[in-house]
């Protein structure tokens, strides 16, 4: 099991890393939101242990970003703030559990193991359309067995389409789900991302799967479509 530990306190990070390594986990460490965001996108993790306050921002915001782009990796929030409003904010942002500092390592380990057990039971299914495959858990997309390198927004767009093969997904829905805004304000942005996504997915020699439905939105062609 691979864990991403996001903690800017070097001493605390070293102690937690050593403890988790001794329990048999592989541990990646990030000290800032920027480092954590890159690590979470580049590498597949089974769990993220996320400090609530980091030098370049709030851990809650990072958790919200991960969820917005479709990453369902379990998140255990760590924070020195124990107010109810802080705990609620973290959980509403998509955190799966919340641990207030100071804490005993044994409690953290128990919560980590509980989240990992729950994650295995609720692992999302791989989405498949013809030879195009998208794994929400590992964040990997392949076509014909060949790995496709997508940006976070491209991945989120493709996932939204593949969850409803053959159905039209409106621009408004994509705007709200991925950009959290009004489709009219980001219409050209949606088109630009769809165009880049199509160039990566609908490569030469493969049947075009991403279709623009004029005046309605976009869809992934179902297997029954000619």
Res 65 pLDDT > 60: yes
Q: Kindly give the pairing relationship between strand 97-100 and strand 210-213.
A: unpaired
Res 26 pLDDT > 70: yes
Dist. CA 148–CA 135, nearest whole Å: 12
- Look at residue 180 in the predicted model and tell me its pLDDT: 67
Res 75 pLDDT > 60: yes
Band of the pLDDT at 124, cuts 50, 70, 90? low
Q: Kindly give the pairing relationship between strand 97-100 and strand 127-129.
A: unpaired
Res 34 pLDDT > 80: yes
CB 26 within 8 A of CB 69: no
54 CB neighbour count, 10 Å cutoff: 21
Dist. CA 198–CA 204, nearest whole Å: 11
Residue 3 backbone class (left: φ over 0; alpha: ψ -120 to 50; beta: rest) = beta
Mean residue pLDDT of the chain comes to 87
- Look at residue 146 in the predicted model and tell me its pLDDT: 92
Dist. CA 40–CA 28, nearest whole Å: 10
Band of the pLDDT at 149, cuts 50, 70, 90? very high
146 CB neighbour count, 10 Å cutoff: 10
Q: Does residue 33 have a cis bond before it (omega within 30 degrees)?
A: no
Q: Kindly give the pairing relationship between strand 127-129 and strand 132-135.
A: antiparallel
Sign of the CA dihedral 195, 130, 132, 135? Answer: positive
CB environment 78-110: b (16+ within 10 A), e (fewer): bbeeeeeebbebbbebbbbbbbeeeeeeeebee
pTM over 0.85: no
CB 223 within 8 A of CB 212: no
């Amino acid at each position: 099991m691979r864990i991403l530990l996001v903690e800017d306190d070097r001493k605390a990070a070293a102690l937690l890393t050593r403890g988790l390594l001794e329990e048999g986990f592989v541990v990646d460490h990030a000290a800032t939101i920027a480092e954590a965001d890159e690590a979470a996108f580049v590498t597949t993790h089974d769990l993220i242990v996320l400090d609530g306050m980091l030098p370049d921002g709030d851990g809650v915001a990072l958790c919200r970003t991960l969820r917005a782009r479709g990453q369902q990796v379990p998140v255990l929030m760590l924070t020195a703030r124990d107010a109810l409003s802080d705990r609620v904010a973290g959980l509403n942002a998509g955190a799966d559990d919340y641990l207030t500092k100071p804490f005993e390592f044994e409690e953290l380990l128990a919560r980590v193991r509980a989240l990992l057990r729950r994650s295995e039971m609720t692992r999302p299914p791989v989405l498949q359309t013809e030879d195009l495959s998208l794994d929400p858990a590992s964040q990997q997309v392949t076509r014909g067995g060949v790995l496709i390198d997508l940006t976070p927004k491209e991945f989120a767009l493709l996932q939204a389409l593949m969850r409803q093969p053959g159905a039209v997904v409106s621009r408004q829905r994509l705007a709200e789900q991925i950009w959290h805004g009004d489709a009219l304000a980001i219409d050209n942005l949606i088109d630009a991302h769809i165009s880049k996504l199509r160039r990566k997915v609908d490569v030469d020699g493969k049947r075009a799967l991403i279709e623009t439905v004029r005046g309605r939105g976009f869809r992934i062609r179902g297997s029954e479509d000619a």
